[in-house]
Structure 1
């Protein structure tokens, strides 16, 4: 049987426009295209883990609107267990995304139904958590829910991962003991550590700081500079695969889902990181969030230039 991954988090409809560059304050730009694409960090990571070999269950909330039906349907199409995706009396979450010609993006999120994912909902679906090998959380749902899910996962003896996205301040100190793998990007690592992260050396300093704060293991994703893995005994750099980027949306989510799927399947940490990097590299060569996420066969056939 495939390893079981449970993702607790957000489902958003991404409203995506492409423009020559990101707008400045007060400026109106003419966009080149517009699309609605199923997304949300939680749902993206669930799709990534499912396409990359894991058996996946999603825990989250959608609204009783057309977007909610589409978001739930997109997960079901990936054979993701949605028994714990609740429909609530609210609008579904949305993300407003602008992608520029350099494939960088700016995103504004409106939580909507994601705000209804409470600790009580987590408890209601505790049997889903108990069936997991790996539990993944992010920060697009209420902090109280994330903290509760992390601690419940730890108490149940599961491998617990937190992708602290989006992060604007340090994590609660009592969360660290519940997390096996903390997986921020540069800006998130900076927010959590209180240190600037703008180079490989500063990322190493921030990783060491996060370990000192109580993180057991840290993976900082660095885009074109690769990834750093840190634990209590040292730090290792994993160089990035060089590809031509089209759209970086969901690259981090693809890495997290791929890393979780590989680790749950018995791969070593180094193998799982390289697998996640290959999946993320493939994803940035394609447009969109969930549409860009590769399959296991895609990654197995992938040869970086």
Structure 2
């Protein structure tokens, strides 16, 4: 186990941020992690600054490039940077890409990888992402990792006890761990992607019945519910899950709480999007954090939308996820303008009691990542 890694069963140390959003609700009997998730970690190579899509038979030059852990690492990093003690179960290749991703997540972000494993002879999945015109095109390559040997668990529970888990629901894929997590008291947040089968059948999403919240985007929600309006889709989804949240891109997000009948809608923050990779993961992470902290529904939507908006102004998936330093700097920046809409400022007023003062200037600059720099 690398130096500084968390040993199974020990409380996770505070993540790389400087604020614990769950401090007011923590007790000595809490599980050792806040959020558990599992999935595939990719090495993402991101090209930005393209004026248009690449054209066959030509060479395109990008003005920016970066590398970072991707796939499920986007969500794990977003959760950790918001102060949640995060445990990730994933396979890592025993190549240099796998070493880089493992070190970036475990040592760089403070994510617990004690449930993960390295697969000898298996190379890391890779995604090349090209961002242009506010959208992205991706090319991926990889092979399915062999199942983990149960003997490697060493008697540990999998999934481990956690306040919550985030499950990527796949049509027709039965993920038994979701039921086990729910039975152990974890609150399940269901994420979903594009249905390549074209059926868009909610009944095919095994584990949906275990979810406390389901968070599709507008297109996914409308296709699953056979509606032509994201808000109508959210109301239809609330017949299947206790809490339906539909993200609507530039139009914000809308949520329906089936248990109370409450609805909430928060408009999006207008930003110049550089790269939307991972924005949906950041939104889910912000919403999970606010839910575990016990915030009102509208505040959860506002925080999730804010963190997603901050993320699209940087390139990369996991690299672009904001922490509390970025949130505090943004809030100080918008409050300094006297012509701000009072209603808009009230929408984010919950940050006044959460964030300490922040003296760092806006906009913030992040380090440009790459693989292979040698330490001097």
Q: Report the secondary structure of 1:45's partner residue.
A: helix
The reply on whether 1:220 has 2:243 as its aligned counterpart is no
Of 215, 224, 229, 2:255 maps to 229
Q: Is the 8 A contact 1:8 1:58 kept in 2?
A: yes
| Distance in 2 between residues matched to 1:126 and 1:133, nearest whole Å | 17
Q: Report the secondary structure of 2:283's partner residue.
A: helix
Report which structure shows greater RCO (CA 8 Å, sep ≥6).
1
Of 105, 114, 128, 1:75 maps to 105
Of 79, 86, 93, 2:117 maps to 86
The equivalences for 1:80-119 within 5 A come to: 80-88=111-119, 89-100=121-132, 102-113=133-144, 115-116=145-146
Change (3 A) 1:20 1:206: same
CA offset digits 1:158-182 (Å, max 9, x no partner): 1101110243333425522111111
1:84 Cα offset (Å)? 1.3
| Structure 1: runs of 5 or more not aligned | 197-201
1:35 Cα offset (Å)? 3.4
1:297 Cα offset (Å)? 2.4
Give the TM-score normalised by structure 1: 0.84
| Distance in 1 between residues matched to 2:96 and 2:269, nearest whole Å | 38
Change (3 A) 1:31 1:141: farther
Residue 258 of structure 1 is matched in structure 2 by 286
The reply on whether 1:175 has 2:207 as its aligned counterpart is yes
1:191 Cα offset (Å)? 4.2
The equivalences for 1:26-45 within 5 A come to: 28=58, 30-33=60-63, 35-45=65-75
More deviation, 256-265/238-247: 256-265
| Distance in 2 between residues matched to 1:217 and 1:122, nearest whole Å | 36
1:216 Cα offset (Å)? 2.4
Higher helix share: 1
Change (3 A) 1:180 1:120: farther
Q: Is the 8 A contact 2:35 2:165 kept in 1?
A: yes
Pick the structure with greater CA Rg. Answer: 2
1:128 Cα offset (Å)? 5.5
Q: Is the 8 A contact 1:61 1:87 kept in 2?
A: yes
Residue 221 of structure 2 is matched in structure 1 by 189
| Distance in 1 between residues matched to 2:244 and 2:156, nearest whole Å | 27
Give the TM-score normalised by structure 2: 0.70
Q: Is the 8 A contact 2:172 2:205 kept in 1?
A: no
Change (3 A) 1:10 1:195: farther
Of 73, 79, 104, 1:49 maps to 79
1:267 Cα offset (Å)? 2.5
| Structure 2: runs of 5 or more not aligned | 1-13, 15-19, 23-33, 335-339, 341-376
Residue 20 of structure 1 is matched in structure 2 by 51
Q: Report the secondary structure of 1:184's partner residue.
A: coil
Q: Is the 8 A contact 2:36 2:160 kept in 1?
A: no
Of 308, 331, 340, 1:280 maps to 308
Residue 199 of structure 1 is matched in structure 2 by none
Q: Report the secondary structure of 1:254's partner residue.
A: helix
1:280 Cα offset (Å)? 0.9
| Distance in 2 between residues matched to 1:179 and 1:103, nearest whole Å | 31
Q: CA RMSD in A?
A: 3.0
